[in-house]
């Protein structure tokens, strides 16, 4: 550690202005804390469980079976020729990540309020921790995906090179929503009650159980403004080799970026009153 | 570098809160129903108002309205690099708000603070400790929460562990630790921070006497290493021992700032602080009226000594000495006892000394009441003595928080494994007799209905 540099550092604390953007330098200084918090939340989540990280597989697995039986076998929804299990696996896995990360992130300030009033560190660490920690579950659940792909003998094609982009997009959604809602929830605890409901509604707004191609063309633009649509469509294209439909992906990506910016701005604006209002 | 060598510069600092959020009461169900329907909108406005101050200007600092309070008003002071400064004051004087602003937990409403170098605050040791994590993991977690880099924790890890004395249990989840071990480990992490500015709030109230001494020594070292320390405490001994200079806050303002001894003795004698005894030797000017005048109020320990502190495990006696100047009146003499948060612990009325409902002749009286051992909790207690006329209901004498002492958990001997020294929270800390019976099979059958 270079103390001489630190020594000339002058911090000025004054009444905050109205709008500020993320202080990336400060966040960088605290990156080790972010990792500790991520580690803590992973470790704590599976402490004293028999299955441990196995839950990360079991959770989406049960959902996939459920969807396959109800929508694949009984309702026989069209899947553009893909076996239904495979079709829903590529969607359920990113969706499980996004929904869990969003839910936890939106409650992060409330559940961390004890710490919030006692010590300062960049508040953004609170909503970002579950967004990162859930990635571990996501990575584990990819094993399930690989297993199912091997079972159906499906190999991805060149679309696979776009996968990192969709993973990134998948992370920006809970990050943006989490920042916004966690700040909002500090004052309005309604978020906690509305969240499960909103998440279960959101499942139907994205092509998780059904195919996006079943949406009438007139509504396509509105439909695809939902960033979850872009992620799911992207995953299907990358992993199953179905054509990349940018018309579904671009609008959602734009929304996701706006969501991220708005979330960050709102979070920063509310940040200064967290402790006073909680 | 700046030309001056101030580590902390505070200028015109003020902090405003809205307390707001009063619950409305309803006369009848219909009104409640109408209100319930309208409530989302009203709730929204109310919560919004909590952080919206656009209707108040900073100049209105002095005007305390119903729902706006200013815990800090126009505070200014500077602290030199390497200075160890104590901050004292009664509860509600603004100490914690000041610390919260300095440690960036909450921003100021007006004014400015300039800090030179890295700042760390020990507002509470063990923040972020998680029960499911091992000692080792908690050291890293807590260290990074306190602003250390992982590399720094790596470097100091052995020292931290040695200081805490929990080497053997490093890979055990903290939930299996005794509370003492937990606190020791937490303090060890905090004590090994190396910020240029360190803010300490009342951490001395943890652990056993031995560990407390270790903490005090460590803090003294910190001061001698040329680090700037801001130390907030109710413990006047620790303050005078550690600090060269002391700032006294009252009602959100700096009322005195100077050498530790001067400020502390002013604080203790002015009634702003704790004093276990108040005496008014001159009967003519003593508080009271023409019927009765009080010449002394004091708190005595079990051995009759008048001290600023009392042991939780020993009884204490509150004593009031007064002169009845006009005979024939019936008095109710009583003490209102408050804790440091201003919560009333109880009222104790003289009902059984024989003078209850009995007119008193002229003369000198001493009324004593004994607070039994193992009743009060740790912390400060303040006593408001009152003499009231039973017939006219007038108060002849009333002095808000006339005396006060600090109740401490005494040093326990090594053999005591009851673990009672833990801070259990609450207003009182009684040690009631418990009974737990183990039932044999036969007794169980009999007990079952």
The residue ranking higher by pLDDT, B408 or A72, is A72
Which residue segment(s) compose the domain that A187 sits in?
Answer: 57-277
Question: Alpha-carbon distance A92 to A68, whole Å?
Answer: 11
Taking CA–CA distances from B50, the nearest residue in chain A reads A277
How many structural domains is chain A composed of? 1
- Tell me which of B235, B269, B303 is where a domain ends: B269
Among A2, A5, A15, pick the best mutation site for testing chain B contact (most B Cβ within 10 A).
A15
Q: Would you state the structure tokens that stand for residue A88, as one six-digit string?
A: 């829903």
Q: Does one domain contain both B287 and B372? A: yes
Mean residue pLDDT across chain B: 80
Residue finishing a domain among B269, B299, B319: B269
Q: What CATH number is associated with residue B229? A: 3.40.50.300
**Residue among B100, B110, B151 whose CB faces A15 most closely:** B110
Q: Looking at the domain assignment, is residue B402 inside a domain?
A: yes
A56/chain B closest Cα distance in angstroms: 20
Nearest by CB: B121 against A44, A114, A119: A119
User: Are the Cβ atoms of B141 and A43 closer than 8 angstroms?
Assistant: no
Reported as a pLDDT band with limits 50, 70 and 90, residue B422 is low
The verdict on residue A192 lying in a domain is: yes
Residue B271 has pLDDT above 70, yes or no: no
| B44 contact residues in A (CB cutoff 8 A) | 188
pLDDT value at position B180?
77
Least confident of A141-150, B125-134, B253-262: B125-134
Query: Quick one: pLDDT at residue B44?
Result: 67
Question: B192 vs A2, B27, B222, B365, CA distance in Å?
Answer: 17, 59, 10, 56
B305 and B344 in a single domain? The answer is yes
Is there a single domain that holds both residue B319 and residue B253?
A: no
Answer yes or no: is A32 within a domain: no
pLDDT for the residue numbered A219: 87
- pLDDT digit string (tens) for A122-171? 899 999 999 999 999 999 999 999 999 999 988 888 889 999 999 999 99
Q: Are both B76 and B213 inside the same structural domain?
A: yes
Q: Which of A43, A117, A119, A189 has the highest number of chain B CBs within 10 A, making it the mutation to test binding with B? A: A119
Q: Taking 50 as the threshold, does the pLDDT of residue B242 lie above it?
A: yes
Long-range contacts of A99-102 (CB under 8 A, 24+ apart): A99/A199, A99/A202, A99/A203, A100/A130, A100/A134, A100/A137, A101/A130, A101/A131, A101/A134, A101/A174, A101/A178, A102/A173, A102/A174, A102/A177, A102/A178, A102/A181, A102/A195, A102/A199
Are B339 and B397 within one domain?
yes
The verdict on B98 and B218 lying in the same domain is yes
Token pair in block for residue B45? 């406005």
> Does A33 reside within a domain?
no
Same domain, B78 and B220: yes
Average pLDDT over residues B13-17: 85
Residue A127 lies in a domain: yes
Give me the mean pLDDT over the A89-97 stretch.
Answer: 94
**Residues B19-66 pLDDT 10s:** 654 444 555 566 667 766 766 776 666 666 655 555 555 555 555 555
Is the CB of residue A273 less than 8 Å away from at least one CB of chain B?
Answer: yes
Distances (CA, A) of B24 to B21, B31, B43, B85, B374: 9, 11, 12, 45, 40
Query: Could you give the maximum distance between any two Cα atoms of chain A, in Å?
Result: 70
In a shared domain, residues B265 and B326: no
Overall size of chain B counted in residues: 449
Percent of chain B's residues with pLDDT above 90: 21
Task: Specify the length of chain A in residues.
Answer: 278
Percent of chain A residues past pLDDT 70, beyond the cut: 96
Residues B202 and B262 in one domain: yes
Interchain CB distance below 8 Å, B132 and A10: no
In a domain, A152, yes or no: yes
Q: Is the pLDDT at B326 greater than 70, yes or no?
A: yes
DSSP state of B102: H
Question: Per the domain annotation, does A212 fall within a domain?
Answer: yes
Q: Evaluate if residue B396 carries a pLDDT over 80.
A: yes
Question: In which domain, by residue range, is B220 found?
Answer: 70-118+195-269
Whether chain B has a CB inside 8 Å of the CB on A74: the answer is no
- Does residue B35 lie in a domain region? no
Which residue of B47, B128, B196 is in closest CB contact with A188?
A: B47
CATH number where B287 lies: 2.70.50.60
The model's confidence at residue A7, banded by pLDDT at 50, 70 and 90, is very low
Q: What is the pLDDT of residue B405?
A: 87
Q: What is the DSSP letter of B372?
A: P
Are the beta carbons of A44 and B130 separated by less than 8 Å? yes
Looking at the structure, do residues B264 and B294 belong to the same domain, yes or no? Answer: no
- B439 located within any domain: no
More confident residue, A76 or A130: A130
Domain-embedded: residue B102: yes
For residues B216 and B205, the answer to whether their CB atoms sit within 8 Å is: no
B114 vs chain A: nearest CA distance in angstroms?
5
B271 vs B140, which has greater pLDDT? B140
My answer on whether B264 and B291 are in the same domain is no
- Is the same domain home to B332 and B205? no
Q: Which of B251, B269, B287 is the last residue of a domain?
A: B269
Phi and psi based region of residue A253 (left: phi greater than 0; alpha: psi -120 to 50; beta: remaining): alpha
Query: Which helix (H) or strand (E) segment is B364 a member of?
Result: strand B363-371
More confident residue, B282 or B122: B282
pLDDT in tens, B57-103: 555 555 555 567 788 888 999 999 888 899 988 766 888 889 889 88
Residue B239 placed within a domain = yes
A–B CB contacts, 8 A cutoff, strictly below = 128
Interface residue of B144, B153, B189 to substitute, partner A, most A CBs within 10 Å: B144
Q: Is the pLDDT of residue B327 over 60?
A: yes
Residue A49 lies in a domain: no
Number of separate domains in chain B: 2
What does the pLDDT average to over A164-185?
95
The DSSP string of B191-226 is HT---SEEEEESGGGSS-HHHHHHHHHHHHHHHHTT
Q: How confident is the model at residue A238 (pLDDT cuts 50, 70, 90)?
A: very high
ipTM, 2 decimals? Answer: 0.81
For the entire predicted model, the pTM comes to 0.71
More confident residue, B420 or B98: B98
- Please name every residue paired with B198 in a beta bridge, in sequence order, or none if there are none: B120, B229
More confident residue, B393 or A96: A96
């Amino acid at each position: 550690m270079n103390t001489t540099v630190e020594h000339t550092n002058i911090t000025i604390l004054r009444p905050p202005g109205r709008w500020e953007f993320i202080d990336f330098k400060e966040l960088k200084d605290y990156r080790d804390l972010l990792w500790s918090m991520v580690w803590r939340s992973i470790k704590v989540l599976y402490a004293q469980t028999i299955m441990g990280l196995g839950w990360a597989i079991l959770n989406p697995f049960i959902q996939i079976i459920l969807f396959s039986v109800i929508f694949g076998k009984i309702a026989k929804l069209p899947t553009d020729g893909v076996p239904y299990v495979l079709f829903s696996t590529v969607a359920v896995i990113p969706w499980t990540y996004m929904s869990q990360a969003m839910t936890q992130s939106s409650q992060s300030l409330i559940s961390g309020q004890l710490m919030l009033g006692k010590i300062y560190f960049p508040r953004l660490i609170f909503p970002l921790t579950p967004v990162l920690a859930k990635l571990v579950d996501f990575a584990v659940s990819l094993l399930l995906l690989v297993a199912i792909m091997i079972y159906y003998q499906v190999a991805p094609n060149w679309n696979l090179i776009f996968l990192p982009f969709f993973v990134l997009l998948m992370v920006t959604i809970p990050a943006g929503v989490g920042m916004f809602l966690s700040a909002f929830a500090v004052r309005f605890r309604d978020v906690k009650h509305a969240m499960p409901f909103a998440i279960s509604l959101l499942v139907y707004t994205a092509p998780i159980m059904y195919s996006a191609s079943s949406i009438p063309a007139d509504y396509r633009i509105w439909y695809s403004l939902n960033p979850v649509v872009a992620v799911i469509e992207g995953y299907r294209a990358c992993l199953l080799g179905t054509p990349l439909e940018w018309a579904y992906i671009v609008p959602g990506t734009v929304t996701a970026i706006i969501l991220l910016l708005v979330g960050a701005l709102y979070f920063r604006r509310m940040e200064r009153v967290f402790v006073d209002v909680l | 570098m700046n030309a001056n060598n101030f580590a902390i510069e505070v200028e015109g600092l003020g902090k405003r809160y809205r307390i707001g959020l009063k619950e409305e009461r309803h006369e009848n169900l219909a009104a409640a129903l109408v209100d319930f329907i309208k409530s989302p909108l009203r709730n929204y406005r109310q919560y919004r108002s909590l952080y919206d101050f656009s209707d108040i200007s900073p100049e209105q600092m002095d005007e305390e309205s119903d729902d706006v309070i200013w815990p800090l008003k126009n505070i200014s002071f500077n602290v030199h690099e390497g200075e160890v400064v104590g901050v004292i004051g009664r509860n509600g004087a603004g100490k914690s708000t000041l610390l919260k602003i300095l440690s960036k937990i909450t921003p100021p409403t007006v004014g400015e603070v300039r800090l030179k170098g890295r700042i760390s605050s020990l507002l509470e040791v063990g923040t972020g400790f998680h029960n499911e994590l091992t000692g080792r993991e908690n050291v890293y977690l807590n260290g990074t929460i306190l602003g250390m880099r992982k590399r720094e924790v790596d470097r100091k890890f052995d020292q931290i562990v040695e200081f805490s004395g929990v080497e053997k249990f490093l890979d055990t989840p903290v939930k299996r630790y005794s509370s003492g071990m937990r606190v020791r480990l937490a303090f060890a992490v905090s004590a090994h921070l190396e910020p240029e500015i360190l803010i300490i709030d009342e951490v001395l109230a943890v652990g056993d006497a031995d560990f407390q001494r270790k903490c005090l020594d460590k803090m003294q070292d910190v001061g001698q290493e040329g680090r700037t320390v801001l130390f907030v405490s109710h413990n006047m001994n620790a303050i005078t021992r550690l600090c060269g200079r002391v700032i006294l806050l009252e009602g959100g303002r700096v009322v005195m700032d100077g050498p530790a001894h001067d400020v502390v003795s002013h604080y203790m004698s002015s009634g702003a602080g704790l004093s276990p005894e108040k005496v008014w030797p001159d009967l003519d000017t003593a508080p009271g009226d023409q019927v009765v005048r009080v010449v002394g109020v004091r708190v005595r320990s079990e051995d009759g000594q008048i001290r600023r502190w009392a042991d939780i495990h020993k009884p204490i006696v509150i004593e009031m000495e007064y002169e009845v100047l006009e005979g024939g009146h019936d008095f109710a003499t009583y003490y209102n006892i408050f804790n440091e948060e201003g919560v009333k612990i109880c009222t104790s009325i003289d009902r059984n000394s024989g003078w209850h409902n009995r007119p008193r002749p002229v003369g000198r009286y001493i009324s004593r009441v004994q607070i039994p051992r193992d009743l009060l909790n740790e912390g400060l207690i303040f006593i408001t003595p009152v003499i009231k006329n039973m017939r006219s209901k007038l108060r002849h004498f009333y002095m808000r928080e006339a005396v006060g002492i600090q109740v401490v958990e005494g040093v326990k001997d090594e053999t005591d494994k009851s673990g009672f020294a833990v801070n259990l929270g609450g207003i009182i800390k009684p040690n009631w007799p418990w009974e737990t019976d183990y039932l044999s099979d036969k007794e169980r059958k009999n007990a079952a209905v």
